Chain A
Amino acid sequence: MTRSIRTTRALALSSGALVALLALSACGSRTDDEASSTSAASCVKTDGDSIKIGFLNSLSGTMAISEQTVRDALDLAAEEINAAGGVLDKKLEIVAEDGASEPTVFAEKAEKLIKSDCVAAVFGGWTSSSRKAMLPVFESNKSLLFYPVQYEGLEASPNIFYTGATTNQQIIPAMDYLKEQGVTKVFLVGSDYVFPRTANKEIIAYSEANGIEIVGEEYAPLGHTDFSTIVTKLKGSGAEAVFNTLNGDSNVAFFKEYKNVGLTAETTPVVSVSIAEEEVGGIGVDNIVGQLTAWNYYQTVESPQNATFVKAFKAKYGDDRVTSDPMEAAYTSLYLWKGMVEKAKSFDVADVQAAADGVTFDAPEGTVTVNGDNHHIAKTALIGKIDADGLIYPVWESDGPIDPDPFLEGYDWAEGLS
């Protein structure tokens, strides 16, 4: 026995030495070696009669509920583009991946799409954490991501195009609306993660500058299901309106509690920024009817483009399906990429980036324009009211499309926020 221990120890030592040796021999370059720090050249194939693009959405895990709808909209757009002859006469070839609702998986799959599948661009992501996880991957590999969801702003990567709203196209207009309605006391409730905390920081700065009092700020852990304490605090705060940045299941518990303690949309309206058409059914229409939402698109938007979009979507996926803002933004993102590529006459990332500024698309939400500086798009803000039929109808809209301002540089009160 003792002999075997000694041998093992010797083995452990020698294998340790082996590892150290290998590690030393393997380490090629240090950071200061500027020359070798460039990454491998793009492997995108552009000589065939098709071009590969990647779709990366969570099809499993907690986010699958939302992200599956985005995937459906992307598939619809790809189908339409291929039916109309493709992009630069090349058919789109889709490489689909599952992000599994985990940031690490998003990073891993993004790298796979870029390096192994050699896609020209990737479309997808939903949560801020998935985007933050993918960002370094796209920057270091010099590839492109189209991100279709409203988010907390304070970001502008040259390798990401943001086709959802940034805060000055959604949250600030919502506050403008509340101010116009004469609201002076607002209560903030949100899930405990990046988007609500950042959004609320901006709302607080806005309120200070506009004479609105914030009478409470509460965060619930993700997946929290008991809102009796938070609603008690809310009820006692004298709030005239509630700004809701809760995420997912928590909304259901919150609105049921809200209704049960006798609060109503007439006396204390709730403005939500994460509730779209497909969530209304799960919350229960009678629990949420009359409440407000802030988005840039609703299924009820009246335009010929939207009529076509909704009709095509229902034809493909069934009459009971609804369309929502992130879906529309995803659908639009594919067409915007097509526009950029056709303007650049090239699939090369640098050419696409250079051609991006000013590319427009007559989207279902209205005409949108890409801002070449910050890679966001100009969008019109719409405040909507949830109706008894489960759809959301616009009750207010901004004066035309709002230019994207992710760092809120155009707002005096936002100084020192970022």
Chain B
Amino acid sequence: MERFALLLIQSYEAVKAFKLRTFFCLVSVALGIAAITIIVAATEGAYKKAFDIVASFGPDSAMVMSGSEEARAIGQREKTITLEDVEAVRQAFPTAYIAVPMTSVSGVTVSYRGNRYQSQIVGSSSDYSQAWTWPVVEGSDFTDDDIRRFANVGIMGQEVSRELFGDQSPVGKFVLVRNLPVQIVGVLSERGTSPGGSSLDNRIIMPYTTVMKKLQNEPRYVLAMRLRFTDLENLDGRVEELKALLRYRHRIPDGQPDDFRIFTPKDIVKFLVALTGSLVVFIGIVGVISLVVAGFVLANLFLLSVKERVKEIGIRRAVGARKKDILMQFLTEAVIITTAGGIVGFILGVISAQLLTYVAEFPVYFSWKAFAIGLVLSWAVGVGFGLHPARQAANLVPIEAIRT
């Protein structure tokens, strides 16, 4: 044990003594490990974010959007889902404990005592908070009664609330939605941004009946339908049935595309993974290349170092070092350097990932996993590329080594 400690100390002394070699090896390993760290963090971040989104979207939920696959941007698609569709789905699927219509108008000017703000108006049933697992933190949700009587009430997202009311509570106050006076009855909790990066807190939820009649002048069609199922494990099957039902109701002949799209948590994960994926692949290639380059830098500098230290190797052999002792010494030196490189690289990775999140809203998440993977890889580089020079050192003939 003491001998191992001595080996470590002496290797450490050598690492300190050959500063230039240490520096170059360390930097090149650090760059590679930094890239790898970012990949691991980004991958983990993407999964974590996907998981968060699925949790907030609801793992048991599906969303049916109006308009076909090829249709234009969100909000401008042709509306194809009717209130009757929603009712029919509610009747047809006993396990759908929530089946609610949803519609939306974006870019609506909302004002309160001279403060004006552009917001999105979402029309929903009274189950909005439950349908989205999105708690009302102040006041309350509107009621079925409000839906029936086209009431001018709404619940407000955090961002609009801040913009219009500052620190004050909007509950009980009247705002103008376009020219429609609407009483705010509740405030939603903070939600953050969507996977696409837009704010989810800039919205006012109102009864769909009110929105359709008074803001859209639309008797029948809605933008989307939101569903939640009690039999989560059958979700894929339910989606197929739902598709068939809607195609039948919309009288779409075989071979024609759907005039609606169904989203499930799976699609959201797919979307996010695709978003992160290309960047991960790119950094991944950079990371692997720079690690290999780091390995060659290390191997070459160590070969040089072995040549420089022939005499030292000779002395050590003369005083009784076996070949494997010399091998271990050079490997230990290599691993000490790459370990330090790995740690520096991890810190570098954390810093640049923070920058990346700041610039590109890229989800990153650091865990012991990123650190462990970096460390193992840096050991692998140390042993893998240090082996050849260490062998060369070990196989020197002692008398020739001393003589040089």
A and B: interacting chains: no
